[in-house]
Homo-oligomer: A and B are copies of this chain.
């Protein structure tokens, strides 16, 4: 077995929101500006085109061009970990190979999300064919456990089997299931992997338990708050703050709400656009969200 590489992802990464043009494509100038802004404000890296980035709504060609736009603007590829999972295996291979060839630090790969309740053998075969199809020793995969959207949970046994079959290549798990027992089981069984989570309130206990960090959506709008959650001596007010923010966010459709908050912060309404079937917040919803956030001290 080759020696373990350093952790694929550590600390604060941002599940980057995707700005859209009027015709539904990726707005490259705003994407570049946003990623550069994040990197200048304490974020270690950007994970564009995951769930928060509406990745599955974007075509392979759009995501390829988005990666290229970031690189062309001078963002270091070691700071980019794109979501490359597609329903189609061939398209996942194409997009992942593009990311690897471009030098991206790794790829966040959803399991195939059309089929419901596939067997662990079937999911294993899919990831194995994907890795063998990319056929590049530089490939480092972050498996994406997000059963509430993908409908395809990645069991601890399956992750262990993939990590054993592809050591170094299968480098970690983004555990966005929000089930701390699952996260704990991954940490205990697979200490050599990068285990990162999406659910911000669990970050203090993740870091105490040896987790790697986070790829999270809140970092788009309050990176300092997330950074405080990762610090060794996280305070009670910080923990209460993230709990309250998440509560407010999930009282709305959370992704349009997150884009609306960013639009307000940047005074740039273009950030409100979402890909259908998501629907942007109405003016009334925006106003209510603004009031609630201000009352809670987030203005």
**Residue A297 lies at the interface, judged by CB distance under 8 Å to chain B:** no
| Chain copies in complex | 2
Contact partner of A87 (CB less than 8 A), chosen from B25, B87, B119, is B87
A276 to B128, CA, bound (A): 10
Contact between A88 and B56 (Cβ–Cβ < 8 Å)? yes
**Residue A283 lies at the interface, judged by CB distance under 8 Å to chain B:** no
Q: Contact flags (1/0) for A263-297 with B, using CB distance below 8 Å?
A: 00000000000011111000000000000000000
**Residue A155 lies at the interface, judged by CB distance under 8 Å to chain B:** no
Q: Contact flags (1/0) for A103-119 with B, using CB distance below 8 Å?
A: 00000000111111011
Residues of B within 8 A of A275 (CB): 89
Contact between A118 and B58 (Cβ–Cβ < 8 Å)? no
Question: Residue on B with the closest CB to A125?
Answer: B276
Q: Contact flags (1/0) for A146-163 with B, using CB distance below 8 Å?
A: 001111100000000000
Question: Residue on B with the closest CB to A25?
Answer: B90
Chain A interface residue bracket vs B: 35 or more
Contact between A57 and B88 (Cβ–Cβ < 8 Å)? yes
**Residue A78 lies at the interface, judged by CB distance under 8 Å to chain B:** no
A279 to B116, CA, bound (A): 13
**Residue A179 lies at the interface, judged by CB distance under 8 Å to chain B:** no
**Residue A91 lies at the interface, judged by CB distance under 8 Å to chain B:** yes
| Contact A115 to B149, CB < 8 A, known contacts A276-B89, A276-B125 | yes
**Residue A43 lies at the interface, judged by CB distance under 8 Å to chain B:** no
Contact between B59 and A115 (Cβ–Cβ < 8 Å)? no
Question: Residue on B with the closest CB to A150?
Answer: B114
Contact partner of A122 (CB less than 8 A), chosen from B86, B94, B112, B276, is B276
Contact partner of A86 (CB less than 8 A), chosen from B61, B87, B112, B148, is B87
Q: Contact flags (1/0) for A50-62 with B, using CB distance below 8 Å?
A: 0000001111111
Residues of B within 8 A of A113 (CB): 87, 113-114
Contact partner of A119 (CB less than 8 A), chosen from B118, B119, B150, B279, is B279
Contact between B24 and A89 (Cβ–Cβ < 8 Å)? yes
A191 to B60, CA, bound (A): 39
A149 to B87, CA, bound (A): 12
A278 to B123, CA, bound (A): 8
Contact between B276 and A112 (Cβ–Cβ < 8 Å)? yes
Residues of B within 8 A of A61 (CB): 90
Contact between A116 and B56 (Cβ–Cβ < 8 Å)? no
Shortest Cβ-Cβ A-B pairs, 8 listed: A122-B277, A118-B277, A56-B114, A126-B276, A125-B276, A59-B90, A56-B87, A59-B88
Besides the known contacts A87-B113, A113-B113, A113-B114, 6 further A-B residue pairs in the complex with CB atoms under 8 A apart: A25-B90, A57-B88, A57-B115, A58-B88, A87-B87, A122-B277
Sample of 5 A–B contacts (CB below 8 Å)? A56-B88, A57-B112, A58-B88, A60-B88, A126-B277
